[in-house]
Amino acid sequence: MKREAGLLLHISSLPSKGGIGTLGKEAYDFVDFLVKAKLKIWQVLPLVPTSYGDSPYQSVCSTALNYYFIDYDILKEKGLLRASEYNLKIQNPKVVDYNFLFNTKLNILYKAFKRFNLDNEFLKFVEAGEYKDFAIFMTLKKLNNFKPWYYWNNEFQEWTQELEDYIISSYNDDYLFFVWTQYEFLEQWNKLHNYAKINGINIMGDMPLYVSYDSVEVWKHKELFLLDENKKPTLVAGCPLDCFSEDGQLWGNPIYDWQYMQKDNYSWWNQRIKSAFNLYDILRIDHFRGFDKYYAIPYGSINAKGGWWEEGPSFDFFKDKLNLNIVAEDLGLIDDGVIELMRKVNYPGMKVLEFAFDGNKDNDHKPSNFKENVVVYTGTHDNMPLYQYILDLDEDNLEIFKNDLKNECLLLNVKYRGRSAKTLCKTVVELAFASKANTCIIPIQDLLGLDDSTRMNFPSTLSTANWSFRMSKNMLKDNVLTELLDYIIKYDR
């Protein structure tokens, strides 16, 4: 395995026009920056459409693509939009305003669609039907004021072939529009992805373990989930209480019927993974431990305290996927079953340096304790930015943090810089590059030493602060490029 490094920055966080990052010029500029810095990987979060809560881990469809990322300027170049139709005043360009997007983007995209020539290539795309379920589901959502499917009119709550035919024939314009959003996204994405590939950049995508209750999968394929006769989940997903949360985390996603899935050799999952590798070069699977054992909580619970562990499909699921370029997010409560599964699949797991410097010499996240076959991060999208984490440490824990960091620096021949929270942050970033991990990924917030206002997500919370961080155009300055080049050369990445 060669030693590589990259950055974690979601598409939504790019400094594009229109209120959210897109697949336009700023995405190409970011690829150019990665190339100049001699980095090899761009990691993004799930590209799926977001819905209630704006989370890419709670989507209306596990394989559809987020039309918010479609770039207006590219549509203008194609003659599908005029600048005056999308140059809207953005209240705060430093954050994503999802309410603004919900109220504007679909209407603007619809104008572009009405000017789009429904040519043979597009009609073949429609006929292939890969995004038919998504388009029908979204057409029904529009008919029902974008409410969750379980609040729709009764005649729409149950999928039937007759309902599908009725929607396609009676609301063909809306149906084709939602298919077109996928067609246009893929055209823009594939050009960007090819540009990255030509320039030696691999894109690492992200696959959530679970799907949302309000999703086309649950609406149409109820047999895949543990639901009662009223189509309500019997069990939902989450994780147990730990030092970060005394009530645990209640995610609320319906639990899979793994016994049913096993009978047809996980065909739904196999198609989902195949679709992901059509988009990405590397695939990170979130909450990997849920394949070995998953935490199940009775539906209607107010927290995760009453849950329990159930057996998952474990190695049986992965036995025909061992050659895939998968990264396993093996964080959280790790037991012997997960360790054994990781040994069998031999995917790289994850180590997070924000967890490393706690005074415990056996801590698995310490660089001196992990092996080469891992991806090392300073933090993840769910963590507080590293700079803020250091700032918030009390006097005793800051001393522990510094002592541990100093020892690790000595072991890896890294210069320890401990004058301030900023220099400590830079030291941890350098330590990630210096570590023996084959792959090193740095979230952009940690590379730049940004504070908690730039945090991507506060797990198990609903807030306009979540998923809304945006980078400014002037953040990636020459000194940042110089630092990265120094790390790449010094640590042979």
At 324-382, the pLDDT tens digits run: 999 999 998 899 999 999 999 999 999 999 999 999 999 999 999 999 999 999 999 99
CB under 8 Å to 438, separation ≥6 — which residues? 1, 2, 3, 4, 348, 372, 373, 374, 375
Mean of pLDDT values over 119-139: 98
Amino acid, res. 403: N
Q: Calculate the CA dihedral of residues 113, 117, 123, 125 and round it to 10 degrees.
A: -60
Question: Is residue 457 pLDDT above 60, yes or no?
Answer: yes
Q: What is the pLDDT of residues 283-322, one digit of tens each?
A: 999 999 999 999 999 999 999 999 999 999 999 999 999 9
Q: Tell me which residue of 91, 42, 45, 36 sits closest to 69, measured CA to CA.
A: 45
Mean of pLDDT values over 213-237: 96
Residue 206, both tokens: 């992200």
Per-residue pLDDT, 460: 75
Distance between CA atoms of 323 and 346, rounded to whole angstroms? 10
Could you list the active site residues? 286, 329, 382
* DSSP secondary structure string for all residues of 131-175: THHHHHHHHHHHHTTT--GGGS-GGGSS--HHHHHHHHHHTHHHH
Question: Is residue 244 pLDDT above 70, yes or no?
Answer: no
Distance between CA atoms of 141 and 307, rounded to whole angstroms? 32
Sheet holding 374-377, edge to edge: 326-328, 282-285, 202-207, 41-43, 4-8, 439-443, 374-377, 349-352
Mean of pLDDT values over 375-401: 97
Amino acid, res. 94: K
Confidence band, pLDDT 50/70/90 cuts, at residue 80: very high
Question: Is residue 268 pLDDT above 70, yes or no?
Answer: yes
Average predicted confidence (pLDDT) for the chain: 96
Per-residue pLDDT, 243: 57
Q: What is the pLDDT of residues 425-445, one digit of tens each?
A: 999 999 999 999 999 999 999
| Residues 408, 366 contacting (CB under 8 angstroms) | yes
Q: What is the pLDDT of residues 168-224, one digit of tens each?
A: 999 999 999 999 999 999 999 999 999 999 999 999 999 999 999 999 999 999 999
